[in-house]
Chain A
Amino acid sequence: MKITEPISRVIGRTDFMPHLPSPQPSPQRRGSSCFRRTNHHINRFTSTASDQPVIAKPCSFSPGEKVRRRGSAAIIFTAALLLVVQLQAADAPALKPVTDPKPILAELQQKMSSLSSVYLEFTQERQLKLFAEPLKSEGVMMIDQPGMIRWETTAPFQSILLSNQKSVAQFEFADGKWKKLKLGFPQMLKRVMDQMTLMHQGKLDALTSDFTLSVSTGVVTVVTMVPKDENVRSMLAALEIHLQPDLSATREVIMREPGGDLTRIIFNREKRSVKFPEKTFDQTKPLDIATIKAAVNDAH
């Protein structure tokens, strides 16, 4: 269960309150007509129509009783908080760091090396602390041998990034037509694309010159890559690849920034060893995505 509600609302719900002690009314106040914390009060969320608490008038408590009542409230609040924290902890995937990541990385590389190609549909969520909701975009990533990659954003705008062993290209769709861009810093973009290709081919050992790699296992297998270069680290604190426990598919990639912002790329649909139509990776006039999707879907 994922808890995203404010704590005040969570505390107010009975399904999170079964272990909370019911405060007993103080003997000297028992029977008085003022409003007290009673079982009626605690159980107000499960009460029936006939089970109404009686609220006559506000109580006037002695200073000592006020302190005791504040103390009880604090205990209830702390207990509820602990319960919420426990629920969250129980919900979070229990991941255990692996002392020696080499065997898992080798297994990943071995599994991925048998693949000739991969097709992935993704949702990209940019989570900035400032925004209440993530900024979303959608797209498709395609990787084929030898070292070809196509990263296409399909919504809310259309853009294609293409890279092969020699070069990189970018196309933007605007005013009803595709336009090839005269890229600034193509080497930098190519490097990023090459790293993405290596990651998705499981060739993580090839990235060890740029990243420190660690692996955690559990509900998912997470490969965490921390950039070695301080300048890169000032922009990208860590990159996490979340895989199925059996390493059979990539679930998501998370790029964490030093300030707490992050980009999450969630892979919704994955097809492996796909035969892509001609010109899928063409850097002059790439094939449109609708035709590629149709070909990929027809093939399976």
Chain B
Amino acid sequence: MRINLILLALAVLTGCATTPRTQIQRAPDSVPADALITQRGVLTVLGRQFTLNGYLASSSTNGQRLIVTENFGSVLADVLLKPGGKAYVMRSSRAFKPKWIERYIAADMQCLFGNSKQTDCPGQMIAANHFLIERRWYKLDLHIVEIKLGVQPPEMFDTTKTEKP
């Protein structure tokens, strides 16, 4: 009995042996350096699903800017990721608070499109244009639906041009 309790305590303290979470493996050059990438995502939070549109302007020199909208076009989140990896929340909403955007949306951007090495990218790359991000609080099923190659306007990557939520 005592041995069982000790084993149980050990298991609790050390953690159960579970399968390690799979990480998204992406080739560094899998995203075009200068492009506008349109995405469609289904976000699952607490079993409920929400559809989102993402517009990512990617620049080889200035960073990346992602604008997330809902079905009818309202902007829910706007985040700028500088080449060094620093995230700037340019616009937030009632649906996505600044902290959430910084902590999760920017992190997911780094995982899927970023250049700096993001180590915590739980999920799978199902196809070259299809990703599944699986974090504790949510799941994001994301499809890249359109890529328009071309240099993006430099103003898009200006950190001073933030809008109030």
Contacts and interface: CB of A to CB of B under 8 A. Distances in A.
Interface of A: 124, 126, 128, 130-132, 135, 156-157, 159, 161, 170, 172, 174-175, 181-185, 189, 192, 235-236, 255, 257, 259, 261, 263
Interface in B53-67: 55, 57, 65, 67
Nearest to A231: B94
The 5 closest A-B pairs by CB, nearest first: A184-B48, A263-B73, A157-B40, A181-B49, A156-B146
Interface of B: 36, 38, 40, 42, 44-45, 47-51, 55, 57, 65, 67, 69, 71-75, 126, 130, 141, 143, 145-146, 153, 155-156, 163
Given A126-B73, A259-B163, A159 B51 contact: yes
Given A130-B156, A157-B143, A157-B145, A181 B51 contact: yes
A248 to B, nearest CB: 26
Contacts of A131: 36, 55, 57, 153, 156
Given A126-B73, A130-B67, A183 B49 contact: yes
A49 B36 CA distance: 45
A236 B74 CA distance: 8
Interface centre among A156, A170, A175, A183 (most CB of B within 10 A): A156
A126 to B, nearest CB: 5
Contact of A182 (B40, B49, B57, B156): B49
B124 to A, nearest CB: 13
Q: Is the interface of A mostly helix, strand, loop or mixed?
A: loop
Contact of A156 (B38, B57, B163): B38
Contact of A255 (B42, B55, B65, B72): B72
B69 A126 contact: yes
A300 to B, nearest CB: 29
Nearest to B161: A130
10 contacts: A126-B69, A130-B57, A131-B156, A157-B143, A170-B51, A172-B40, A175-B126, A175-B130, A182-B47, A235-B74
A263 B75 CA distance: 11
A158 to B, nearest CB: 9
B51 A128 contact: no
B153 to A, nearest CB: 6
B49 A184 contact: yes
Contact of B72 (A170, A181, A192, A259): A192
B74 A128 contact: no
A189 B71 CA distance: 10
Contacts of B65: 130
A63 B44 CA distance: 71
Nearest to B36: A131
A99 B162 CA distance: 39
